[in-house]
């Protein structure tokens, strides 16, 4: 288990991590999600020991590693740009950390071949790393991290250089590899889709704190704050004054698909639209508020649409009131 205890980190006057605590289970795929500049990379750097904490501690399997230098922390880090050694073969890249440790040649061969098989790159071992695709390079980077058998892994948006389709495939692969390894992954991304599809649990980083930590469905269904409701989802959660539905002193939050079109509670005018396959997201002006609803069929800007809300959550002072 990895315990993050009251992590605080600032750069000059800028407080980036403002007392973060969480326990990450062994074998968990833990994703830290936040917008650009939220402090995700900083979080990984303090765990890795590349940046020093102002205060707080990191305890791994009961041992405080916070004051250890990076190389003594027994973790592996995979970055956005894989930083592979360009003039070496795939084999030599993967073997590199083992050579540094003085592992014997036979043992290196055995280990490299094993991780290469795990990642499906066994046929590329003799290739130069600059002559393989981005997706393959990414696997080499992961193989190089895995081969050291670290106690856990830190991944900083490792899929962000891949095109959308390869990325989708790579996510599935990564999840499979993680399960096969039984490794603990701490993975940071600003892409909520990626977070939702990979994570056992997601931590939403906002203003130096984990604003919510939970399984993906929980974050989607019961966002702890309005901010999380707007941040998670292909489209933000809608918010309307409670009194529209007869509820005083609260705001009502609902997802675009939690409505029934042609229902008779509200009317709105289509101001724009976005088609996603067979569905269309309609951006409506309803009274003085913007509301997004999901529909199917033909619509035009300027159309009048009526709808009712099937499911909703109540929020007070920015926080959810309804419990699961």
Ligand X SMILES: Nc1ncnc2c1ncn2[C@@H]1O[C@H](COP(=O)(O)OP(=O)(O)OP(=O)(O)O)[C@@H](O)[C@H]1O
Q: Is the dihedral of CA 281, 285, 290, 293 positive or negative?
A: negative
Q: Does 190 bind ligand X (CB under 6 A)?
A: yes
Window 280-309: contact mask with ligand X (x via CB under 6 A): ------------------------------
Cα–Cα distance measured from residue 193 to residue 259, given in angstroms and rounded to the nearest whole number: 22
We find the least distance from the C-beta atom of residue 208 to ligand X, in angstroms, to be: 9
Minimum CB separation of residue 16 from ligand X in Å reads 5
319 binding ligand X? (CB under 6 A)? no
Distance CA 57, CA 37 (A): 23
Q: Which stretch binds ligand X (CB under 6 A): 37-45, 84-92, 274-282, 290-298?
A: 37-45
**Residue 201 corresponds to which tokens in the numbers above?**
């649990």
Question: Does position 129 bind ligand X by CB under 6 A?
Answer: no
The count of C-alpha atoms lying within 13 angstroms of the C-alpha of 59, restricted to the half-sphere facing its C-beta, is: 11
Interaction between residue 37 and ligand X (CB under 6 A) = yes
Within the chain, residue ranges assigned H as helices are 40-48, 90-100, 105-119, 134-146, 164-181, 192-198, 216-221, 226-231
Spell out the residues 6+ positions from residue 117 whose beta carbon is closer than 8 angstroms to its own: none
16, 58, 237, 293: which one binds ligand X (CB under 6 A): 16
Q: How many residues bind ligand X (CB under 6 A)?
A: 12
39 near ligand X (CB under 6 A): yes
Shortest spacing between CB 9 and ligand X, in angstroms: 9
Q: Is 217 exposed, middle or buried (0-12, 13-18, 19+ CB in 10 A)?
A: exposed
* 49 near ligand X, rule: CB under 6 A: no
Nearest distance from residue 95's CB to ligand X, in Å?
30
Least distance to ligand X, CB of residue 39, Å: 4
Quote the CA–CA distance of 231 and 81 in Å, as a whole number: 26
Decide if residue 41 touches ligand X (CB under 6 A). yes
Contact residues: ligand X, CB under 6 A = 11, 14, 16, 34, 36-42, 190
């Amino acid at each position: 288990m990895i315990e993050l205890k009251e992590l605080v980190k600032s750069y000059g006057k800028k407080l980036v991590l403002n007392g973060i605590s969480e326990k990450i289970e062994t074998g968990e795929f833990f994703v830290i999600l936040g917008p650009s500049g939220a402090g995700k990379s900083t979080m990984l750097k303090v765990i890795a020991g590349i940046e020093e904490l102002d205060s707080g501690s990191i305890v791994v399997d009961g041992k405080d590693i916070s004051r250890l230098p990076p190389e003594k922390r027994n973790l592996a880090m995979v970055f956005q740009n894989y930083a592979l050694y360009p003039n070496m073969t795939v084999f030599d890249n993967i073997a590199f950390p083992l050579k540094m440790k003085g592992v014997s040649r036979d043992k290196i061969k055995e280990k490299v071949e094993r991780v290469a098989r795990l990642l499906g790159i066994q046929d590329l071992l003799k290739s130069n790393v600059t002559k393989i695709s981005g997706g393959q390079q990414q696997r080499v980077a992961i193989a190089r991290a895995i081969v050291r058998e670290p106690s856990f892994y830190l991944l900083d948006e490792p899929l962000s250089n891949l095109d959308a389709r390869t990325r989708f495939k790579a996510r599935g692969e990564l999840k499979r590899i993680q399960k096969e390894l039984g490794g603990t992954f701490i993975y940071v991304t600003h892409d909520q889709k990626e977070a939702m599809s990979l994570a056992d649990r997601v931590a939403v980083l906002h203003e130096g704190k984990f604003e919510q930590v939970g399984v993906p469905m929980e974050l989607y269904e019961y966002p702890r704050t309005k901010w999380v409701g707007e941040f998670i989802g292909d489209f933000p959660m809608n918010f309307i004054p409670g009194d529209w539905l007869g509820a005083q002193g609260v705001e009502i939050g609902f997802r675009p698909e939690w409505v029934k079109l042609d229902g008779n509670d509200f009317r709105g005018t289509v101001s724009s639209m976005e088609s996603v396959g067979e569905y269309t997201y309609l951006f409506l002006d309803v009274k003085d508020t913007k509301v997004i609803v999901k529909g199917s069929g033909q619509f035009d800007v300027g159309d009048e649409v009526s709808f009712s809300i099937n499911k909703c959550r109540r929020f007070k002072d920015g926080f959810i009131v309804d419990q699961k």
